[in-house]
Homo-oligomer: A and B are copies of this chain.
């Protein structure tokens, strides 16, 4: 039987999204299960996931025989080992290495190909297969969400490195002295400044250190969405927050380019939705900071995948 379909699984801290995808990148059916109700019992989670996958395939009017493989994007997912290891936001994998790919394949009868990688790498494969990076062989995917993730594509392949963990560009140092403490324990990481959480930290710092008027002062908790809305309404401090964040990103991109000489930087994630405010300062800082041979040569593009489908599409693309 022709195997013309794949399944994409996007594992998040709270929910897991599952979808059957065809060769053109159409999501035929979608379902969601909880990731956070299994305690530390990885086997129970995998059993529930396998059941949901089977149900989803049936929903799409297909059978297991028509599925070429299952692609999984998961935090701390390792392509080489198929493990999800020490992922702080997944209770069933927080303190151990879970052989996710093998367990899921077995739960589906033992014959199914399961390919696993981390979320940002999955996003990179998704953009290359269905999205803004179609036709590109060398690009860097940057996901600007709660944290900053990355997937590096070299010659059409994701760069996994010696151990499968390559592409942690959220954790390069952008502030060497007195940098903010990052969730990873290091100081001055890109993620501590340019994630959704990072820009909110900058907002709180600026509001505390100055008396500049801003509509953000009235809020108890400031989210990146609040800053976006304030910028939309013309709030000057909010606008400068995006300038500052975009400038740090652009300078970091200049260093990334010196590494892998990509055709483009592709952006995805909640904070990337603020592209009208981020794009210009990002591009300016990148081109001012990059080596001359790359000035005005590397594009910054935004994901073209429909947001609700993107995570599933990215994961599913691994299975082709």
Contacts and interface: CB of A to CB of B under 8 A. Distances in A.
B255 A164 contact: no
Interface residues of A, number: 42
A300 to B, nearest CB: 14
A167 B291 CA distance: 12
Interface in A158-184: 159-169, 171-176, 184
Interface stretch (A204-212, A230-238, A258-266, A270-278): A258-266
B159 A260 contact: yes
Contacts of A259: 152, 166-167, 169, 172, 256, 259-260
A258 B169 CA distance: 6
13 contacts: A137-B162, A161-B261, A161-B262, A162-B261, A163-B261, A163-B293, A165-B261, A165-B293, A166-B259, A172-B258, A172-B259, A173-B251, A186-B289
Interface of A: 137-138, 152, 154-155, 157, 159-169, 171-176, 184-186, 251, 254-256, 258-263, 289, 291-294, 297
